């Protein structure tokens, strides 16, 4: 039992009480923190009862602490004036910024004066003075209550400020004892050998005690949200597309999607082209001819783009700019399977765009894509499946804005009203794949494909409250944020 505990218990045992633990601590010459630890432990065993008190007390400003230490400005001024007086410059030299206030108060107190005709020479008019101010600051510092007039004066001179201090009022608790028996927490060999185990008192087990925080690994937020979104797709009957090829040919990334070869996205400002292997030799001849055909002169009711389509442009290898390239591969494969069977596919994987890095954009992000391929699908079906998908993400209020993609017509940007952010957020893009894309693949007439896409980073940033995408990756990921951020169950805005 610490001496501090002993003296507190003795004080209470002798009928004393502790109305204010702060002044009790300073009366014992210990810090309030030390006393607080003892109070907490005694209160835990209800040996003492402590009531939290928040008091507003006047505390000295730093300026006042200076005066407490070395005297009030007026007192310091007087101390600096030799019997023969001193010039203001000399005094300024000695007292610096407090000269003026010192002069003003000293003059007011008639402690100083000036020689006739020489306003610069400051003369003492008294030998000794009582430094009222320093006295008042001392008394205040020792916790004494000063008169309102003095308090107002100190307040006016900005020497004191109100400070909320919390302390405790203590009195005997229901389990009060004058001397606390050290409760044993274990039976040790020593106890057994010494036999004093017989009259040992054991500490109750605190079954409510928190276990040691176990440092475990955490799922990267992106992968956490990826899993959530994957579950939504699986629940909606979608199958994952194989996306294990970051390197793609321009053919599947652009041409197969009916994206013309002179489209701005196809130049290196937007796309990472490969130096080695710079080109692919694995394109499917028959299909390639059909794609060339539809680009050059259309067909299937389309007039095409009417430009001279170049094979070597389509053979250029790149880092895929969207997982829609994978959708094209899967739809082509599906078209080869006779008879046609409707399909629901999704993909969630990295795509690469040569974009300026900023708070929400990196040169790569994870694209989420969903598509449904079936006879007679309409824009209404697309809107319906988007309502269903985003409602499972907790986004019920959607709005659609007409948009343009080279590979879908009609196309729509998707907006959702975000209750937390109190604004409409763009949550994705969507559309119906063009016949110029689908029919050259060999998909039957009447089969339509509705599709949509969004990023994984944006929802993860919003759900984890991360405002800079760079904090999502690499060494700057703040583990505390992940630890402390309960898995934000999608759907629970
Ligand atoms: O993710 C996006 N926004 C978003 C998504 C979810 C979300 O959830 C919150 C919890 C509430 C919040 C925001 N966007 C798409 C919208 C914008 O962020 C946009 O500025 C940035 N977009 C990326 C592309 O940037 C160049 C996000 C990315 C994107 C855009 C379009 C597609 C995929 C990803 C697509 C597509 C598509 C269209 C038709 C057919 C097939 C695929």
Question: All domains of the chain, ordered by start, with CATH?
Answer: 3-62+136-190 (3.30.1370.240), 73-130 (1.10.10.2330), 222-484 (3.30.930.10)
From CA 412, how far away is CA 272, in angstroms rounded? 27
pLDDT in tens, 349-386: 999 998 887 877 789 999 999 999 999 999 999 999 99
| Ligand 1 near 81 CB (within 6 A) | no
Task: Output the residue whose Cα is nearest ligand 1's atom 36.
Answer: 453
> Ligand 1 atom 3: the closest Cα is on which residue?
427
Q: Is the CB of 328 under 6 A from ligand 1?
A: no
Question: Of 71-75, 126-130, 165-169, 437-441, which has the strongest mean pLDDT?
Answer: 437-441
Alpha carbon of residue 70 to chain centroid: 46
**pTM for this entry:** 0.65
Rounded-to-integer distance, Cα 350 and Cα 245, Å: 10
Region 60-75: mean pLDDT is: 92
Is there an atom of ligand 1 within 6 Å of 430 CB?
yes
Residue identified by tokens 């009203």 is: 417
* Token pair listed for 464: 């984890």
Q: Are 437 and 257 in contact (CB under 8 A)?
A: yes
- Give the contacts of 379 (CB within 8 A, at least 6 positions apart): 410, 432, 450
Question: What pLDDT, on a 0 to 100 scale, did the predictor assign at position 1?
Answer: 64
Query: Ligand 1 pocket: which of 354, 419, 429, 487 to mutate (most atoms <8 Å of CB)?
Result: 429
The model's pLDDT over 209-233, given as tens digits with 9 standing for 90+, comes to 888 888 778 888 899 999 999 999 9
Q: What is the pLDDT of residues 120-144, one digit of tens each?
A: 889 999 988 899 999 999 988 887 8
Looking at the CA of residue 416, tell me the nearest atom of ligand 1. Answer: 11
pLDDT of residue 206: 82
**143-179: pLDDT as tens digits:** 788 899 999 999 988 999 988 878 899 999 998 988 8
Q: How confident is the model at residue 488 (pLDDT cuts 50, 70, 90)?
A: low
- Kindly state the average pLDDT of the residues 333-340: 97
Mean of the per-residue pLDDT values of the chain: 90
Higher pLDDT, 198 or 339: 339
Closest ligand 1 atom to Cα of 322: 33
When pLDDT is averaged across residues 336-361 and rounded to a whole number, the result is 92
Residue among 219, 180, 214, 148 at smallest CA distance from 39: 180
Pairing of strands 398-405, 423-433: unpaired
**CB of 418 closer than 6 A to ligand 1?**
yes
Residue 493, pLDDT score:
47
């Amino acid at each position: 039992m610490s001496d501090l505990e002993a003296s507190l218990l003795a004080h209470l045992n002798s009928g004393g009480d502790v109305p204010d633990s702060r002044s009790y601590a300073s009366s014992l010459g210990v810090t309030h923190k030390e006393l607080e630890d003892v109070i907490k432990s005694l209160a835990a065993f209800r040996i003492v009862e402590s009531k939290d008190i928040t008091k507003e007390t006047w505390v000295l400003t730093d300026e006042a602490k200076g005066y407490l230490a070395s005297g009030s400005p007026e007192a310091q001024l007087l101390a600096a004036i030799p019997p023969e007086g001193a010039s203001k410059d000399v005094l300024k030299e000695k007292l610096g910024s407090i000269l003026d206030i010192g002069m003003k108060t000293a003059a007011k107190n008639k402690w100083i004066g000036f020689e006739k005709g020489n306003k610069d020479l400051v003369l003492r008019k008294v030998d000794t003075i009582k430094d009222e101010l320093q006295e008042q600051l001392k008394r205040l510092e020792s916790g004494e209550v000063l008169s309102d007039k003095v308090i107002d004066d100190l307040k006016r001179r900005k020497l004191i400020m109100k400070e909320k201090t919390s302390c405790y009022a203590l009195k005997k608790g229901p389990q009060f004892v004058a001397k606390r028996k050290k409760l044993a927490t274990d039976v040790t060999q020593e106890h057994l050998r010494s036999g004093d185990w017989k009259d040992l008192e054991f500490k109750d087990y605190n079954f409510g005690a928190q276990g040691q925080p176990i440092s475990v690994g955490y799922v990267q937020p992106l992968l956490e949200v990826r899993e959530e979104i994957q579950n939504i797709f699986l629940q909606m009957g979608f199958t994952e597309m194989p996306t294990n090829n970051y390197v793609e040919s321009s053919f599947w990334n652009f041409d197969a999607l009916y994206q013309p070869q002179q489209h701005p996205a196809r130049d290196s400002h937007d796309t990472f082209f490969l130096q080695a292997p710079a080109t692919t030799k694995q394109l499917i001849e028959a299909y390639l001819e059909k794609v060339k055909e539809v680009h050059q002169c259309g067909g299937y009711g389309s007039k095409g783009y009417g430009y001279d389509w170049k094979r070597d442009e389509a053979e250029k290898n790149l880092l895929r700019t969207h997982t829609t390239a994978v959708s094209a591969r899967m739809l082509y494969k599906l078209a080869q399977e006779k008879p046609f069977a409707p399909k629901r596919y999704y993909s969630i994987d990295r795509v690469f765009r040569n974009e300026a890095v900023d708070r929400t954009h990196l040169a790569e992000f994870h694209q989420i894509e969903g598509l449904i391929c079936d006879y007679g699908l309409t824009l209404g079906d697309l809107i319906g499946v988007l309502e269903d998908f985003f409602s499972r993400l907790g986004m019920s209020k959607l709005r659609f804005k007409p948009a343009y993609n080279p590979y879908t017509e009609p196309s729509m940007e998707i907006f959702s009203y975000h209750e937390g952010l109190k604004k409409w957020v763009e949550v994705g893009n969507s559309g119906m794949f063009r016949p110029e894309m689908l029919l050259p693949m060999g998909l039957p007439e009447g089969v339509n494909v509705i599709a949509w896409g969004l990023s994984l980073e944006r929802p993860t940033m919003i759900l984890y409250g991360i405002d800079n995408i760079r904090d999502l990756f690499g060494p700057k990921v703040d583990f505390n944020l992940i630890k402390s951020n309960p898995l934000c169950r999608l759907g629970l805005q």
